[in-house]
Amino acid sequence: MSNVNLSKVNNWLHVVNKLPYLTSLYLYSCNLLNIFSVPLVNSSTSFDVLNLSNNNLTSSSSVLKWLFNSNTSVVGLDFSRNPFQGLIPDAFSKINSLELLILDDNEFEGGIPKSFSGMCNLKTLSLSRNNLSEQLLGIVHNLTRCANHSIEKLYLDYNNIMGSFPDLTTFSSLRVLWLSDNQLSGTIPESLGKQSNLESLYIGGNPFEGVISEAHFSKLTKLKVFQIYNSSLVFNFSSNWVPPFQLKQLYLVSCQLGFGLPKWLQTQKSYYWLDLSNSTILDSLSNSYWIFPNKKFYMNLSNNQISGHIPNLSLGSSFGSIIDLSSNELKGEIPSFVFRGVHLDLSKNMLSELAFSLCAANNNSLRFLDLSNNRLSGELPDCWMHFEGLKILKLENNNFHGKIQAQWAL
């Protein structure tokens, strides 16, 4: 019943309690009334899954009290996007069957209760976008006893969590770890490289320092997504390093990558998302054909010092791609394949040739095209009918001349 307005229904709890065979209840975004303090009759209702997210509920403790009165043994709880405040209630840990607990986008403070360490079935704990301010080491300690062996996904991003990055090797089942946008500092321990089940790692937006090297990834054979940004970490990899993983997504934004495009990227055959923007890359793109995956992809190499020519490739599956190579030092001709995506930004370069490659392309899916602030010259191409889906076109600050074609007036 998600997205059904129940703001005028003051007996919905009574109705729910009269449904003894109900096991899953989804009331996302229903404008529910805060009536959990209303006395309830005995009920045999036993939920497996309860979703009360985005309802402007104000008391998590009253909801939990209602759950206990309903004799329930819940497996999954989603209370995200409600203005719950204060400390996270200990009562969650009394639900021994709980495997999934989502408390995102609330206003919880402090840290995780010590009692959470006994949640032996907990697999996913999500506390993104709250006001947690405990030391990360304390959070880890309060999950260490039983929960650390079961937790597979831990989301703590966008909080005010402080301290250093602790040793997490006791979290043997951990597959997903999100710690972005907190106040974590210090170095990242090499023990991170022992998390052999880790698939997704988000640690950007923290003031880490020191070096990140091959040792930090030594046993991460299952890693698919790695994200870090706004970091002063020094990346130190040997030129012939072959990672143990095959990434699908890589975000190294506003980092200090050094002089060239990471050579180890040549070993990655599966990625479709690459963001290395604003990362002090000084390199030539001319022979870096391997940087473009042969599939639909997102690529952002903007705000670097990348020079040379864009390789003239014939990627047959680049339709739907997004490419941003703006604010670099690219020159020469723009190859046809880059016009086959939906978004292309080549602004603020030194590109000089356009007409042939543009007219050789044919793509009604292209929506955004920015070629401004280059050295393009000659008459404006007259083949814009090849791009009927184009919504935004920027050509200012080039050297075009001649007449504007009649079709531009349409």
pLDDT tens column, 211-232: 999 999 999 999 999 999 998 8
Distance in angstroms (rounded) separating the CA atoms of residues 293 and 290: 7
Res 207 pLDDT > 60: yes
Res 355 pLDDT > 80: no
Task: Please tell me the least confidently modeled range out of 12-26, 87-101, 133-147, 322-336.
Answer: 12-26
Q: pTM here? A: 0.90
pLDDT tens column, 273-325: 999 999 999 999 999 999 998 888 999 999 999 999 999 887 665 667 999 99
Task: Name the range with the highest mean pLDDT among 46-50, 177-181, 354-358, 404-408.
Answer: 177-181
Residue 410 banded pLDDT, cuts 50, 70, 90? very low
Residues 366-389, mean pLDDT to the nearest whole number: 90
Domains and CATH numbers, the chain: 281-410 (3.80.10.10)
Share of the chain above pLDDT 70, in %: 93
370 phi and psi, to 5 degrees? -120, 110
User: Taking a C-beta distance cutoff of 8 angstroms, is the pair 80, 126 a contact?
Assistant: yes
User: Taking a C-beta distance cutoff of 8 angstroms, is the pair 34, 10 a contact?
Assistant: no
Q: Which residues of 95-134 are buried (b: 16+ CB within 10 A; e: fewer)?
A: beebbbbbbbbbebbebbbebbbebeebbbbbbbbbebeb
| Secondary structure (H, E, C), 78-114 | ECCCCCCEEECCHHHHHCCCCCEEECCCCEEEECCCH
Residues 369-391, mean pLDDT to the nearest whole number: 90
Looking at per-residue confidence, does 382 or 324 come out higher? 324
